[in-house]
Structure 1
Amino acid sequence: MGDPGSWQYYNHATSIAITVLGVFFVGLRFLSRHLGHVPLGTEDVLILIALVNLFVVFAINIEMVEHGLGLHQSIVSDADIVIINKLLLCMECFYCTSIVFVKTSILTMYHRIFIDRATRIGAYILGFITISWAISIIFACIFQCTPVARAWDKSIPGHCINLKGSFIGNAVPNIVTDIAILTLPVSRVWRIQASLSERLSIISIFLLGAYVIFASIYRFVTLFGVDFEDMTYTLARTNAWCVVEVSSGIISACLPTLRPLIRTLFPGLLKSSPSTSEHIFRRQDDSTITNPASTAWNHNKTSDHIQPSQSDLETDADEYPLNRIKVQEDISWDIRSLHSRHTHSQGV
């Protein structure tokens, strides 16, 4: 590929388009929550914080372009290079923070949906790894040089770490955790006693956001083209893909929540196949397997600790079609009417 002379238009167009898409999908997420009568949860708050961080990353990137990012360093003033270096340090910190909020939003959603111990422990471990990764990168960015000011003003005597090597090394665990988070629920869903088509349908919903892995990998590839002798020019693509990766992560986290919206717009598109089971159970929040036919249950024998809650009585509004999973594991259910259950509770 020949030298385009400037990456500024590419940077502007790419970052603006993907940021608008991120805002659009967050809007769809909350519209879907409203249509499905689903109360906002912790994962929704986290995705809003991630969106705010995306705005900051986007704004820093645009400001860097205004000071010469995307142009060859030979035609960028020394004063602008200092400003670009300062903004780069800030952008890396907010980029990492954005990634943390996106991933913890997804993991929080897993924690709400799945009640099995293995999935929840996996979510905690991946959350800990993600937060630790971000803290270590932010620390490395702030203290990349001794003295710290040498990070943006190379005329100051001192020494710095290999920043390109640091960027490349830090991108690897980011990609690995992307893959781990997206595939975390797959094994659990695969073990559910449901038809193959039902299991594949649910797994496909969890994997809707797999394209964020492509964004992470492509950004990783662009890092190899960064040359700090011509940093203002060679860093422009990577900067744009930082914005792409954050916004793609937000979109990835929003896609599985759009089921109520899609079902409203296209009623026949997500219609589940008829169940052959007499009782069809659903999962809602932590407590969660119940019968939508206004029945209550007692849990007699199972390895999971399941407790009924009032939220179980709501209409099917969850983002995942878990309401169509037939309970066929080693569980026995004592079904009785809600009226009898409430009468007994009042008597006690």
Structure 2
Amino acid sequence: MVASEEYSQAYLHESRQSIVAGVAIFYIVIQTITLALRQLSKYVGGLRLGWDDFLIALGFVLCVTVAACSLDDVYKGGVGLHEVRVEQIDPGMLVVWGHWIIIIPLIYFSAVVPAKLAIIHLYLHIFTDKKLRITCWVVAAIIMGNWFGTTIAGFLACHPLSYFWTQKGKCFNINAFFRWSGLGNILTDTIMLVLPIPMVWNLHASIRLKLGIAFTFFLGSIGLISSILRFYEFYVTNAEVDGTWNGAQFVLWCVIESGTYQVAACFPLYRPLVRLIGRKMNLTSRGDSRGDSVNDTKSSESRFQRTPNERKHGGRFQSLKGDSLSIDEEDGVGLVPIASAHHHSEVAPGQGNIYNV
């Protein structure tokens, strides 16, 4: 290591710590809010708890853990400072950093999985086309396979793993590992974004409705943007030089990408809550758009005012079919419950009535 006297004071006091800490805290807060709103929206819409809720809850725990570990890495591991500065402060911090540079990516690999599987779960509930459903299962298998492969590779990155803080041992190409480990996310995200397009395009509905449905699906796929940005950032950053300084970029994007997936997976379930708020604020009105009486609007609102017993039975997602369509435009996105207070039939995934609300 070159003596610290050879570095300028400006260099020694450069810091990325406030950025990493700020982003970590922001994502903890925003993930908590979006999860709470998602569950509130499901309650408003009368949708029952299901596997998607378990996946979202698991994803929330893992994503918050990534952010919390990143905060500890900032304050105890020196990430965001130049290595020579960390050695000046406390050489023991490099040992802490060495542990986190292993642990954070491994948790990150797991954290991106539940949110993506929750979106696949949503697709399986609303797609009736056999090919689309098979594609969903294939994508889910790729997601799980990518998680398993990157996790194993993470454990085998260096032998022994203590190389990260002792510099004794050997590693494979760490830069290549960090760069290409996210390629599977980009691939599956692209498929998940494109997958609903043919179904939406073939719907016998207005352009406004088609755009509304497409936008709903797009919100669930915005993790693709963070995946691409992460891939670029990892490609231009050398993880093997000035580890605590450059490591800030890796830690930062682990927080951003996993958190963005988690937030995005909550968006498609917001429609019942948005519709209710719109009606309370007189921003939307089914009765006005169809020339019906005010009573028609009130009856529409009643589906959000069910008794606890009615809510218990309500709540599958609607299926999307392109061959026929008998819906009111406002309820057409198909991410609202098909069961009402007077209709409690059980509906298997992907086999619901066509927008029959």
Determine the C-alpha separation between the residues in 2 that align with 1:17 and 1:33.
24
Determine the C-alpha separation between the residues in 2 that align with 1:14 and 1:232.
17
Determine the C-alpha separation between the residues in 1 that align with 2:98 and 2:148.
20
Give how far 1:86 is off: 1.3
Determine the C-alpha separation between the residues in 1 that align with 2:214 and 2:327.
23
CA contact (8 A) 2:318 2:354 kept: no
Determine the C-alpha separation between the residues in 1 that align with 2:171 and 2:96.
18
Name the structure 1 match of 2:248: 236
> What secondary structure, in the 3-state scheme, does the structure 1 residue paired with 2:181 have?
helix
Name the structure 2 match of 1:149: 162
> What secondary structure, in the 3-state scheme, does the structure 2 residue paired with 1:266 have?
helix
Name the structure 2 match of 1:303: none
Name the structure 2 match of 1:71: 81
- Residue 49 of structure 1 aligns with an amino acid whose one-letter code is L
- Select which of 23, 39, 46 maps to 1:30: 39
The TM-score with structure 1 as length reference comes to 0.76
Give how far 1:122 is off: 1.2
Matched, 1:249 2:249: no
Higher share in helix = 2
Determine the C-alpha separation between the residues in 1 that align with 2:283 and 2:215.
15
Determine the C-alpha separation between the residues in 2 that align with 1:149 and 1:291.
63
Determine the C-alpha separation between the residues in 2 that align with 1:121 and 1:86.
40
Give how far 1:109 is off: 1.0
Determine the C-alpha separation between the residues in 2 that align with 1:87 and 1:37.
42
Determine the C-alpha separation between the residues in 1 that align with 2:319 and 2:201.
21
Give 1:200-279 correspondences, 5 Å limit.
200-223=211-234, 224-267=236-279, 269=283
Deviations 1:72-125 (A, max 9, x none): 001223422222121121111110111111111110111111121122111111
Higher relative contact order, structure no. (Cα contacts within 8 Å, ≥ 6 residues apart): 2
Give how far 1:251 is off: 1.2
Name the structure 1 match of 2:109: 96
Percent pairwise identity:
27
Determine the C-alpha separation between the residues in 1 that align with 2:341 and 2:261.
29
Deviations 1:307-339 (A, max 9, x none): x99999259xxxxxx98869xxxxxxxxxxxxx
- Select which of 45, 49, 57 maps to 1:40: 49
> What secondary structure, in the 3-state scheme, does the structure 2 residue paired with 1:205 have?
helix
Determine the C-alpha separation between the residues in 1 that align with 2:123 and 2:285.
23
Determine the C-alpha separation between the residues in 2 that align with 1:71 and 1:287.
52
Matched, 1:313 2:322: no
Determine the C-alpha separation between the residues in 2 that align with 1:323 and 1:190.
19
Give how far 1:69 is off: 0.3
CA contact (8 A) 2:98 2:162 kept: no
- Select which of 175, 178, 182 maps to 1:171: 182
Unpaired runs of 5+ in structure 2? 1-9, 292-314, 329-337, 346-351
What do you get for the CA RMSD once the two structures are aligned? 3.1
Determine the C-alpha separation between the residues in 1 that align with 2:47 and 2:290.
24
Give how far 1:270 is off: 5.9
Name the structure 1 match of 2:203: 192
Determine the C-alpha separation between the residues in 1 that align with 2:50 and 2:341.
13
- Residue 266 of structure 1 aligns with an amino acid whose one-letter code is G
CA contact (8 A) 1:33 1:260 kept: yes
CA contact (8 A) 1:175 1:217 kept: yes
CA contact (8 A) 2:47 2:316 kept: no
Change over 3 Å in CA distance of 1:148–1:68 after alignment to 2: closer
Determine the C-alpha separation between the residues in 2 that align with 1:128 and 1:243.
24
Name the structure 1 match of 2:309: none
Name the structure 1 match of 2:153: 140
CA contact (8 A) 1:292 1:313 kept: no
Name the structure 1 match of 2:138: 125
Deviations 1:202-245 (A, max 9, x none): 11111124432222222222212234220101121331221111
Change over 3 Å in CA distance of 1:209–1:270 after alignment to 2: farther
Aligned length: 296
Change over 3 Å in CA distance of 1:52–1:242 after alignment to 2: same
Determine the C-alpha separation between the residues in 2 that align with 1:113 and 1:217.
28
> What secondary structure, in the 3-state scheme, does the structure 1 residue paired with 2:166 have?
coil
